[in-house]
């Protein structure tokens, strides 16, 4: 890395080298049995330069040819955006625990047993269910080095496991599943099994819905599938800078229900979304995005922050494709409320529970509109869950919904690596059914 | 510098000495260029080079897979894949075997994006961005351009050695309009596997989409419920891909008795007017190729003929397990992933109904054009339009906000009651499955009419 940096400095005013080394071992089960064991090794080097004041960028996995990498960065710099920032000189970062050497020592045999244990538990409950399962361990090493003396290096481990069951009768299909991940090994699958079996139980009967507005409870998975993406985009400094965020001009204003508080928090120990610094060597921090309904902060990378005349919040992300850093949420953490999920259900005369909405991210997400098919959802009648609903669409606007929340659940749950949310109960949501 | 031909030859030698039911290896190199704009500013220009490979082994029905971009110690990588397969395998391997194929396929490229200078590419994007910004009421714009050139080598334990090259170019242009705290967007996507020219003359389309994003702002939201819906070729193509195409991928079906029952060949899926095809063998489309990533020749496969299910898409393993012919549909997005059953160019064959005939007897319906996206859970699907109008008394009437359409696949296919004469292929799409996205595919259709389609709304 030092060599690439030294060579790049000869042709540019500033330079930054980013290297990610990832080793991944996924174990996959299909049709209730072990089917694949994989081992994936990758190392990617990215070079960002500032030449004649403009940004050049290139990446490579060719570890034997750094000349092309440097030439590509120089070629793109001719057309690149004007750099409004300097690379940061940070070398010290907050201590964030995200590495557990135990993960590497988990054997294939242990991983296989975990997968089989989940499948056995689900198929023991219902022999008609056909399961897929996955157990995965990942180790990464991230290094960043820039010509202003900035330097970061950290290791991360991630261990994930999940199971999905499908139950098919005629052309009626039911999909249930759950997944969890941590920087520690996850050797206990009880919670996942409990969730999956619970959903199978609730879906045993089918219920009917008529087209009208009604109270709707979004479970943590439901919140993730319907409401979160547009919200993340609205808090993205770049969307704000462009004037495309519906809340861009509402800093300090009450836009959401005063029960709602959300942080971007990459400092929680042993969470896969946590990290000491972002992809540009800027220290990460816990940022209040919504404070009791008031819009508090937006998230920035270096370039966007400079253009918006503010500071990077440590939210520079290169994305899975390894492009130029851009602002993105690190870990979206919604504060839990005091109402239990069961209380929400008990207090509903007629309503829906949304566990998974399909297609909600397809419409006009910038404006907050969403509309999706209820892939997994349940009907509540007189305080009881009476069965699964199908052929049903739920639509709304997240800004309208989040401005009037009946209750926030006490059941905070991590959904994926970078979202922690409770259930949310809305008084009136548009439901369409045949 | 590493020569992937040499690496592939070394791998071919190593594979010969292994004991496994089947082993294959891929080595590829890829060059890409990306240009993106957000707002009036160019956002980023980047280039990337990559090289990497994988080894996949099958023993007693169990698969091992090792991917890498460090090309040293090839033998260790092969033995690791074999060891993993042995760890997994507990039954009998079932796999289509084929005589070895040794071939070098040279790409037929009309206008190679790699040979166009960055200056010219940027100039074109500048023109498109100006076309958007010359429209009143625009808040921001998003342009994403990408091209790639990939050379991939395939070797297997049967003695095959196949070298293929392909180019790919994609463009996505979106305009965002805003007024009174409301935000709306409109976009188009285009692409080609062999011709930069395919994205060269879109100035008129770009101006129109910019105006559309402004117009949508003042358009009403449709009332949710059931409608007769007419889909344009682009959206109908997305529909056939999402709603039916994924169901015909045999890896969902082959080991699942219940799904096999649903997907029994000969079953009626639609009216006699409905014919659905997947064809990688049709040259020049984004999903076209000569050999799939298991070295099986590409085919044209009828999935539905005159309303009846007549075929499905296979890998070597699914074809063997179902006792059907391989179709050459095993594809991997890159060397980091094993090939899985994927679509290529999927379309509804044209019928003989004109657009005017199709809408003539609709009292109140929806004309949905263009697409934002689509997804499926096999039984149910959703897809969303980019441009939407009401149909009133047989005529296309007022603009409404973009809609999300949803339904049950089986019922909806049955509800297609008119198929147009104007087949058009959409080359701008990318397909995601099993963590592999976006895979270059194309899909298409003529205009189609669907009765009783569920539309989300107020």
Give the pLDDT score at B378: 82
pLDDT tens for chain A, 434 residues: list them.
Answer: 999 999 999 999 999 999 999 999 999 999 999 999 999 999 999 999 999 999 999 999 998 889 999 999 999 999 999 999 999 999 999 999 999 999 999 999 999 999 999 999 999 999 999 999 999 999 999 999 999 999 999 999 999 999 999 999 888 899 999 999 999 999 999 999 999 999 999 999 999 999 999 999 999 999 999 999 999 999 999 999 988 899 999 999 999 999 999 999 999 999 999 999 999 999 999 999 999 999 999 999 999 999 999 999 999 999 877 789 999 999 999 999 999 999 999 999 999 999 999 887 766 677 888 888 899 999 999 999 999 999 898 999 999 999 999 999 999 999 988 999 999 999 999 998 87
Tell whether B69 lies on the interface with A, counting CB pairs under 8 A.
Answer: yes
Residues A333, A307 share a domain: yes
Q: Yes or no: say if A395 and B224 are a contact pair by the CB < 8 Å rule.
A: yes
Closest to A348 measured CA to CA, from A380, A375, A326, A371: A380
Half-sphere exposure at residue A101, Cβ-oriented, CA atoms within 13 angstroms: 0
B400 beta partners: B388
- Answer left, alpha or beta for residue A300, where phi above 0 means left and psi between -120 and 50 means alpha: beta
Q: Taking a C-beta distance cutoff of 8 angstroms, is the pair B211, B134 a contact?
A: no
| Band (B320; pLDDT cuts 50, 70, 90) | very high
Q: Looking at CA atoms only, how far is residue B352 from chain A in angstroms? A: 31
Q: Does A394 touch chain B (CB under 8 A)?
A: yes
Residue-level pLDDT at B423 = 96
Give the closest residue to B144 by CA, choosing from A324, A366, A301, A205.
A324
Measure the CA–CA gap between A152 and A145, rounded to whole angstroms.
Answer: 7
| Torsions phi, psi for A46 (to 5 deg) | -120, 140
Distance of residue B180 Cα from the nearest chain A Cα, in angstroms: 10
Domain encompassing residue A24: 2-200
- Measured in whole angstroms, the distance separating CA B366 from the mean position of its chain's CA atoms is 26
B56 three-state secondary structure: strand
Task: Check whether residue A233 and residue A174 sit in a common domain.
Answer: no
pLDDT of amino acid A170: 84
Per-residue pLDDT at B173: 96
Same domain, A301 and A189: no
CATH match for B4-217 among 3.30.420.40, 3.10.20.30, 3.30.2290.10, 3.40.190.80 = 3.30.2290.10
| Residue whose entry in the numeric block shows the structure tokens 């090994």 | A185
The model carries a pTM of: 0.93
pLDDT at B234 over 80: yes
Whole-complex ipTM:
0.92
Q: Does A43 touch chain B (CB under 8 A)?
A: yes
Q: Are residues A190 and A213 in the same domain?
A: no
Residue that is last in its domain, among A200, A221, A252: A200
Q: Given this model, what pLDDT does residue B182 score?
A: 77
Q: How far apart are CA A29 and CA B314, in angstroms?
A: 20
Give the mutation candidate from B140, B406, B453 for the A interface (greatest A CB count, under 10 A).
B406
CA dist B205 → B190, B194, B215, B358, B404 (Å): 11, 21, 15, 25, 23
pLDDT at A362: 67
| Residue in A57, A62, A432 closest to B454 by CB | A432
* Mean confidence (pLDDT) of chain B: 94
Name the phi and psi angles at B225, rounded to 5: 150, -165
Assign residue A72 the CATH number of its domain: 3.30.2290.10
What tokens were used for A110? 């242990």
The answer, yes or no, to whether residue B380 has pLDDT greater than 70, is: yes
Give the mean model confidence (pLDDT) for residues B223-229. Answer: 93
Residue finishing a domain among A200, A221, A238: A200
Domain count, chain A: 2
Residue B379 has pLDDT above 70, yes or no: yes
Tokens at residue B449, please? 């009419």
Residues A110 and A209 in one domain: no
Phi-psi category of residue B159: left, alpha or beta, with phi > 0 → left and psi -120 to 50 → alpha: left
The average pLDDT across B186-215 equals 94
Residues A255 and A362 in one domain: yes
Chain A hits for B50, CB-CB cut-off 8 Å, are 59-62
CB A352 within 8 A of CB A431: yes
- How far does the CA of residue B100 sit from the closest CA of chain A (Å)? 25
Count, residues in chain B: 458
Chain A residues lying within 8 Å of B84, measured CB to CB: 37-39, 108
Same domain flag for A350 and A224 = yes
Same domain, A310 and A352: yes
User: Cα B279 vs. chain centroid, distance in angstroms?
Assistant: 12
**Same domain for A352 and A225:** yes
Q: What is the pLDDT of residue B402?
A: 87
Would the pLDDT of B1 be above 80? no
Q: Is the pLDDT of residue B407 over 90?
A: no
- Domain boundary (A143, A178, A200) is at A200
Q: Does A244 touch chain B (CB under 8 A)?
A: yes
B65 touches chain A (CB under 8 A): yes
Question: Which has more pLDDT, A211 or B26?
Answer: B26
For residue A364, the model assigns a pLDDT of 67
Query: How many Cα atoms occupy the beta-carbon half-sphere of B147 within 13 Å?
Result: 22
User: What pLDDT score does B184 carry?
Assistant: 86
pLDDT of residue B224: 86
Nearest residue in chain B measured CA to CA from A109: B87
Say if strands A54-60 and A326-327 run parallel, antiparallel, or are unpaired: unpaired
Are A191 and A298 members of one domain?
Answer: no
Say whether residue A398 is in contact with chain B using an 8 A CB cutoff: no
| Residues A25, A48 share a domain | yes
Residues B328 and B436: their CA atoms lie apart, in Å, by 18
Q: Is it the case that residue B183 has pLDDT exceeding 90?
A: no
Chain A interface includes B191 (CB < 8 A)? no
The chain A residue lying nearest B408, using CA atoms, is A391
State the DSSP H helix or E strand holding residue B183, giving kind and residue range, or none if neither. Answer: strand B182-192
The DSSP-derived string for A229-241 is: HHHHHHTBHHHHH
Looking at chain B from residue 386 to 445, which residues have their Cβ under 8 Å from any Cβ of chain A?
A: 401-404, 406-408, 410
By the CB < 8 Å criterion, does A127 face chain B? no
Domain boundaries, chain B: 4-217, 225-455
CA atoms of A135 and A160, how far apart (whole Å): 6
What whole-number distance in Å separates Cα of residue A398 and Cα of residue A377? Answer: 19
Q: What is the mean pLDDT of residues B73-84?
A: 97
Nearest CB neighbour to A393, from listed B62, B378, B406: B406
- A193 lies in the same domain as A341: no
pLDDT the model gives residue A359: 80
- Residue whose pair of structure tokens reads 């091209």 in the numeric block: B147
Residues contacting residue B55 through CB under 8 Å, at least 6 positions apart: B11, B23, B24, B25, B65, B66, B77, B78, B80, B81
CA distance B272 to B42: 51
Q: Give the pLDDT of residue B458.
A: 67
Residue pLDDT, tens place only, B239-297? 999 889 999 999 989 998 888 999 999 999 999 999 999 999 999 999 999 999 999 99
């Amino acid at each position: 890395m030092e060599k690439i940096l030294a060579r790049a400095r000869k042709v540019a005013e500033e330079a930054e080298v980013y290297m990610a080394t990832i080793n991944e071992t996924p174990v996959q089960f299909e049709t209730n049995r072990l089917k694949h064991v994989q081992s994936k090794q990758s190392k990617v080097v990215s070079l960002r330069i500032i030449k004649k004041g403009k940004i050049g960028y290139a990446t490579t996995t060719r570890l034997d040819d750094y000349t092309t990498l440097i030439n590509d960065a120089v070629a793109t710099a001719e057309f690149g955006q004007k750099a409004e920032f300097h690379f940061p000189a940070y070398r010290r970062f907050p201590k964030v625990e995200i590495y557990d050497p135990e993960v590497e020592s988990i054997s294939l045999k242990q991983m296989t047993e975990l997968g089989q244990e989940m499948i056995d538990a689900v198929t023991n409950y219902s022999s008609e269910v056909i399961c897929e399962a996955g157990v995965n361990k990942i180790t990464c090493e991230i290094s960043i080095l820039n010509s202003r003396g900035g330097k970061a290096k950290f290791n991360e481990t991630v261990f994930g496991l999940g199971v999905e069951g499908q139950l098919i009768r005629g052309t009626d299909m039911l999909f249930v599943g759950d997944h969890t991940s941590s920087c520690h090994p996850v050797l206990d699958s009880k919670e996942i099994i409990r969730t999956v079996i619970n959903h199978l139980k609730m879906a045993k009967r089918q219920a009917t819905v008529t087209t009208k507005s009604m109270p709707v409870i979004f479970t943590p998975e439901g919140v993730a599938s319907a409401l979160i993406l547009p919200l993340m985009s609205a808090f993205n400094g770049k969307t704000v800078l462009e004037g495309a965020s519906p809340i861009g001009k509402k800093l300090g204003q009450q836009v959401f229900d005063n029960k709602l508080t959300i942080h971007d928090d990459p400092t929680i120990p042993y969470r896969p979304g946590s990290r000491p610094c972002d992809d540009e060597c800027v220290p990460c921090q816990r940022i209040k995005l919504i404070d009791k309904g008031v819009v508090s902060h937006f998230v920035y990378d270096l370039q966007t922050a400079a253009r918006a005349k503010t500071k990077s919040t440590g939210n520079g992300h290169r994305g899975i494709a390894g492009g130029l850093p851009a602002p993105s949420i690190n870990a979206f953490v919604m504060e839990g409320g005091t109402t239990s999920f069961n209380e929400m259900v008990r207090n509903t005369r007629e309503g829906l529970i949304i566990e998974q909405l399909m297609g909600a991210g397809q419409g006009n997400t910038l404006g907050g509109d969403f509309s999706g098919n209820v892939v997994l959802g349940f009907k509540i009648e007189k305080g009881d869950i009476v069965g699964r609903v199908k052929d049903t669409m739920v639509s709304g606007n997240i800004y309208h919904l989040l401005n009037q929340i009946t209750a926030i659940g006490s059941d905070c749950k991590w959904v994926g690596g970078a979202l922690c949310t409770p259930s949310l109960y809305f008084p009136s949501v548009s439901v369409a059914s045949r | 510098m590493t020569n992937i031909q040499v690496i592939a030859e070394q791998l071919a030698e190593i594979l010969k000495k292994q004991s496994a039911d089947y082993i294959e290896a891929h080595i590829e190199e890829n060059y890409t260029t990306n240009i993106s704009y957000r707002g009036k500013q160019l956002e980023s220009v980047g280039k990337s080079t990559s090289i990497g490979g994988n080894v996949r082994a099958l023993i007693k029905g169990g698969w091992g897979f090792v991917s890498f971009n460090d090309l040293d110690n090839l033998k260790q990588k092969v033995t690791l894949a074999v060891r993993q397969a042995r760890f997994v395998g507990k039954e009998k391997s079932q796999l289509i075997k084929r005589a070895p194929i040794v071939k070098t396929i040279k790409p037929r490229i009309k206008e190679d994006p790699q040979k166009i200078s960055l200056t010219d590419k940027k100039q074109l994007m500048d023109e498109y961005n100006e076309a958007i910004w010359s429209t009143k009421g625009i808040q921001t714009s998003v342009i994403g351009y990408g091209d790639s050139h990939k050379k991939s080598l395939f070797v297997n334990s049967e003695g095959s050695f196949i070298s293929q090259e392909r180019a790919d170019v994609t463009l996505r242009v979106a305009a965002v309009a805003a007024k009174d705290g409301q935000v709306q967007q409109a976009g188009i996507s285009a692409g080609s596997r062999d011709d930069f020219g395919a994205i060269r003359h879109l100035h008129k389309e770009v101006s129109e989409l910019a105006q559309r994003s402004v117009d949508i702002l003042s358009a009403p939201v449709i009332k949710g419920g059931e409608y007769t819906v007419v889909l344009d070729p682009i959206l109908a193509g997305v529909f056939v891909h999402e709603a039916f195409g994924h169901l015909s991928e045999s890896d969902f079906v082959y080991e699942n008795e219940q799904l096999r029952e649903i997907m029994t060949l000969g079953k009626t899926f639609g009216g006699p007017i409905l014919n659905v095809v997947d064809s990688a063998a049709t040259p020049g489309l984004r999903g076209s190729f000569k050999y799939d990533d298991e070295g099986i020749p590409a085919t044209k496969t009828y999935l539905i003929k005159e309303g009846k299910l007549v075929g499905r898409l296979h890998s070597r393993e699914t074809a063997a397990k179902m006792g059907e012919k391989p179709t050459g549909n095993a594809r991997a997005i890159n060397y980091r992933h094993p090939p899985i059953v994927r679509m290529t160019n999927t379309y509804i064959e044209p019928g003989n109904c004109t657009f005017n005939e199709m809408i003539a007897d609709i009292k109140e319906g929806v004309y949905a054009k263009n697409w934002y996206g689509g997804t499926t859970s096999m039984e149910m699907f959703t897809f969303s339009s980019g441009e939407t109008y009401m149909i009133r008394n047989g005529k296309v009437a007022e603009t409404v906000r973009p809609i999300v359409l949803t339904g049950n696949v089986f019922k909806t296919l049955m509800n297609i009651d008119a198929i147009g004469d104007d087949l058009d292929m959409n080359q701008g799409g990318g397909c995601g499955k099993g963590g592999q996205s976006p895979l270059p595919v194309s899909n298409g259709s003529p205009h189609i009419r669907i009765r009783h389609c569920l539309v989300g709304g107020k």
